[in-house]
A and B are shown apart, each in its own frame.
Chain A
Amino acid sequence: MARVVVDVMLKPEILDPQGQAVASALPRLGVAGVESVRIGKRIELEFADGTDSDAHLEQAREIADKLLANPVIEDFTLRIEDGDR
């Protein structure tokens, strides 16, 4: 089994009010020095056939392009992860 991890993040220029809310809560924990917080999504795609990682990546890219990320507001990155963990 092969796992492709897709990380989806709001583009830097897109306001992330959730991240801002978390950042403003940090001083309550006694945490100082965190300049900003951005919140994204991690999506794990499990492929049944674990041999051809290039094909999986290509397929994952297509899925991310079409559905997982909205290119108007989000960027995504892909990586293969060891599925046996």
Chain B
Amino acid sequence: MRIGVVTFPGSLDDGDARRAVRLAGAEDVGLWHNDPDLHRVDAVILPGGFSYGDYLRAGAIARFSPVMGSVIAAAASGLPVLGICNGFQVLCEAGLLPGALTRNAHLHFRNRDQVLRMLATDTAWTNGYSEGQEILIPVKNGEGRYVADEATLDELEATDRVVARYVNGNPNGSMRDIAAIRNEAGNVVGIMPHPEHAIEALTGPSTDGLAFFTSVLTHLATAGAPA
């Protein structure tokens, strides 16, 4: 399996995401923001960081990069896409996920280990978790407050599209404690905290994040190659 990790100017966590892919047992493939070629990858990860300096709004400029044109088209035909932190912001800006991520309500950058409760486990990226499972992974953001109108929030909940919620304290004021959501088909997931920083005992607070990267391999093995 080939998992692509996009590097935008200002990406920070592309290296960790590629390492997570390798530890999960897949081949990591570097994708470049200015190259629309997805190099036959089976899934794509948009990593954390500050793409294009977060100028204008986080993710706003990255969304129009050449690689994103290809990612948006491929996501529509089922390509698994995971957006982490800045990647989640890019997915919302691109319209692949509803809502937006805004400045933390308290204005502080939050960097800590965070408990999440996993909810939707029928996605390409979370099938290795059990519903209700609590995991501990790092959160680190300044603009991680998930915002959407009430109707959208109600719909996300009614259709089981909330993938994870913050537990034991909401680090940024996200509406309804939302930490991660999915699209209708379940191939696109956005998450604000960082599973790729919790894959090894040496460097992470747990290894709870690794299942995001093994889940997609299970999904691909079951579903066959994406269209």
Contact = CB atoms under 8 A, between A and B. Distances in A.
B60 interface: yes
Given A15-B173, A72-B99, A67 B64 contact: yes
Interface of A is mostly: loop
B23 interface: no
A73 B103 contact: no
A72 B105 contact: no
Interface residues of A, number: 11
Contacts of B105: 15, 17
A60 interface: no
Given A73-B102, A73-B147, A67 B107 contact: no
Q: Which 6 A-B pairs have the closest CB atoms?
A: A72-B100, A73-B100, A17-B107, A17-B105, A70-B100, A17-B103
Contacts of A68: 56
Contacts of B145: 15
A21 B105 CA distance: 11
Contacts of B64: 67
B107 A70 contact: no
